């Protein structure tokens, strides 16, 4: 898959950080510059190791608290509406905003997993902070809140567990917004290669439908952009090309009643000049 997006996934069964050595408290001469750098690198490595251990522990904890056993359990929610807007700058930087309206079934919904994935053509980003990940509850007239924890935090792939405070009560809904930024998000496109965007949303209620509004906006300096819809079984969907106020290109995919259980939305983008 090329051209990554933040996409909800079922619960699994299973800017930057710096560290400095302790300050000196004696009268001895300071250590050589090389030694200081070595200490700082060692401390940084220890912090990274501790962070990675915490991330793995969070993933194990969630997997045990909320197990999804293939063939026995199912997700407790579906989505009534999903919007996604990706804005691509002239240098390939990306700013993404996704909004999900989540509806609980007969059981409460405690959390949701999302992931962000980019091709290795793009630079790696350290930690969620580096990707400027922000998640908030935007339900109308609500005082609800969310907290999120990393369940995977690799350079090109982030997985986040979002916890609802309080949990979504049975047969009620909640709307959340996820934002992130990634430098050279579409470097692959800048380099003249095609990019495939994939939107995939598992659901616990396959017979229910979802309104989709998915768009990707390209800066005018990127020139003409072609879009091919490779989604399977997509007769009711629309795909429109629009021109933005500053002369860029915006492709908009809409489906009023998408069946998420049939598979993801697949759009391929190419520069044509």
210-236 pLDDT per residue, tens: 999 999 999 999 999 999 999 987 778
> Is the pLDDT at 19 greater than 70, yes or no?
no
User: What domains can you pick out in the chain, each with its CATH number?
Assistant: 6-12+71-271 (2.60.40)
Q: How far separated are the first and last CA of the chain, in Å rounded?
A: 23
The whole-number pLDDT of residue 102 equals 96
Q: What is the pLDDT of residues 182-210, one digit of tens each?
A: 999 999 999 999 999 999 888 888 899 99
For residue 218, what are the β-bridge partners?
Answer: 88, 249
CB 125 within 8 A of CB 36: no
Q: What is the pTM of this model?
A: 0.79
The whole-number pLDDT of residue 1 equals 30
Q: What is the pLDDT of residues 22-50, one digit of tens each?
A: 233 333 444 444 444 456 877 767 777 77
> 177 is written with which tokens?
């917004």
CA distances from 146 to 84, 125, 134, 161, 177 (A): 19, 24, 11, 10, 10
> Is the pLDDT at 159 greater than 70, yes or no?
yes
């Amino acid at each position: 898959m090329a051209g990554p997006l933040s996409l909800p996934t079922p619960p699994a069964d299973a800017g930057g950080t710096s560290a400095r050595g302790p300050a000196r408290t004696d009268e001895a001469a300071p250590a050589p510059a090389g030694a200081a750098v070595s200490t700082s690198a060692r401390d940084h490595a220890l912090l990274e190791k501790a962070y990675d251990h915490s991330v793995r522990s969070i993933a194990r904890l969630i997997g045990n608290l909320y197990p999804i056993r293939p063939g026995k359990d199912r997700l407790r929610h579906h989505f009534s509406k999903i919007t996604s807007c990706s804005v691509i700058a002239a240098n390939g930087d990306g700013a993404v905003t996704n909004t999900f309206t989540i509806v609980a079934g007969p059981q409460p919904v405690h959390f949701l997993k999302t992931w962000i994935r980019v091709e290795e053509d793009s630079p790696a980003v350290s930690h969620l902070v580096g990707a400027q990940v922000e998640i908030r509850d935007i339900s109308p007239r609500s005082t609800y809140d969310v907290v999120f924890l990393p369940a995977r935090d690799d350079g090109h792939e982030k997985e986040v567990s979002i916890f609802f405070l309080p949990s979504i009560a049975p047969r009620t809904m909640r709307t959340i917004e996820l934002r992130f930024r990634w430098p050279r998000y579409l470097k692959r496109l800048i380099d003249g290669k095609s990019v495939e965007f994939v939107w995939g949303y598992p659901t616990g209620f396959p017979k229910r439908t979802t309104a989709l509004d998915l768009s990707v906006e390209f800066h005018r300096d990127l020139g003409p952009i072609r879009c091919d819809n490779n989604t399977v079984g997509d007769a009711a969907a629309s795909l429109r090309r629009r021109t933005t106020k500053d002369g860029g290109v915006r492709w908009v995919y809409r489906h009023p009643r998408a069946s998420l259980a049939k598979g993801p939305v697949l759009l391929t983008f190419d520069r044509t000049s």
